[in-house]
């Protein structure tokens, strides 16, 4: 091998070493989030208004969210139980809780993410940072089958806001329905808590 070929080979090898080192360092910094997906999980605990059919309903559930940071889209799902109080002489009776218990599974997929909180429900104390997404739901069930209040295919829309503050960047979640689903869940914000976020989608982690 002549000197010219040897020099070229050394240069190529050096470039490859530099590239592999940079990739390894980047992956080490990002850890499990090198894929660009931030995963969130949490709980839902709230009540519906009294004026929806069968209301007020007590709502409890869990939710998960995969946010593809590089593409700016989100996949959201929630599993929820609902029940109401029975009545005595036509008046709601809290001693007869757990009536008409049922479940809902809700999905919103491939929703474009908006990196601000404009139009999201407010809190006191106020949340100061967050993101949101919305779209037509891909699924709403009732006890595992089609929800009786929903159209086929679903036409209800859902806004999801994930917000937080200086101490915990992502602490709160709200769900706001529009369309047929409001006859059951109501048009108000449904509140929940963020339990875990695998990374900060704004890159602050």
Is the whole-model pTM more than 0.85? no
pLDDT at 2: 57
pLDDT at 131: 97
pLDDT at 24: 43
How do the pLDDT tens digits run along the chain, 205 residues long?
A: 555 555 555 454 554 444 444 444 444 333 334 458 999 999 999 999 989 988 889 999 999 999 998 889 999 999 999 998 777 887 777 787 788 999 999 999 999 999 999 999 999 999 999 999 999 999 999 999 999 999 999 999 999 999 999 999 999 999 999 999 999 999 999 999 999 999 888 766 5
DSSP helix/strand/coil, 122? coil
pLDDT at 3: 56
pLDDT at 55: 86
User: What does the alpha-carbon distance between residue 127 and residue 99 come to, in Å, rounded to a whole number?
Assistant: 35
pLDDT at 168: 95
List of residues 6+ apart from 146 with CB closer than 8 A:
152
User: What does the alpha-carbon distance between residue 44 and residue 128 come to, in Å, rounded to a whole number?
Assistant: 21
Tokens of 93: 């009776």
């Amino acid at each position: 091998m002549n000197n010219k070929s040897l020099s070229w080979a050394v240069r190529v090898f050096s470039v490859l070493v530099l590239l592999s080192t940079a990739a390894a360092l980047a992956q080490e910094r990002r850890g499990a989030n090198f894929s660009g997906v931030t995963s969130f999980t949490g709980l839902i605990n709230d009540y519906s208004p009294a004026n929806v059919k069968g209301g007020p309903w007590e709502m409890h559930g869990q939710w998960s969210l995969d946010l593809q940071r590089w593409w700016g889209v989100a996949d959201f799902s929630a599993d929820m139980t609902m029940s109401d109080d029975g009545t005595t002489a036509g008046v709601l009776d809290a001693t007869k809780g757990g009536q008409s218990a049922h479940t809902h599974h809700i999905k919103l997929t491939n929703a474009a993410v908006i990196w601000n909180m404009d139009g999201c429900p407010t809190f006191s104390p106020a949340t100061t940072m967050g993101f949101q997404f919305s779209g037509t739901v891909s699924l709403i069930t009732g006890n595992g089958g089609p929800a009786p209040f929903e159209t086929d295919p679903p036409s209800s829309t859902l806004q999801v806001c994930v917000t937080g503050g200086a101490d915990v960047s992502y602490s709160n979640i709200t769900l706001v329905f529009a369309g047929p689903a409001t006859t059951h869940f109501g048009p108000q914000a449904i509140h929940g808590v963020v339990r875990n976020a695998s990374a900060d989608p704004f890159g602050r982690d």
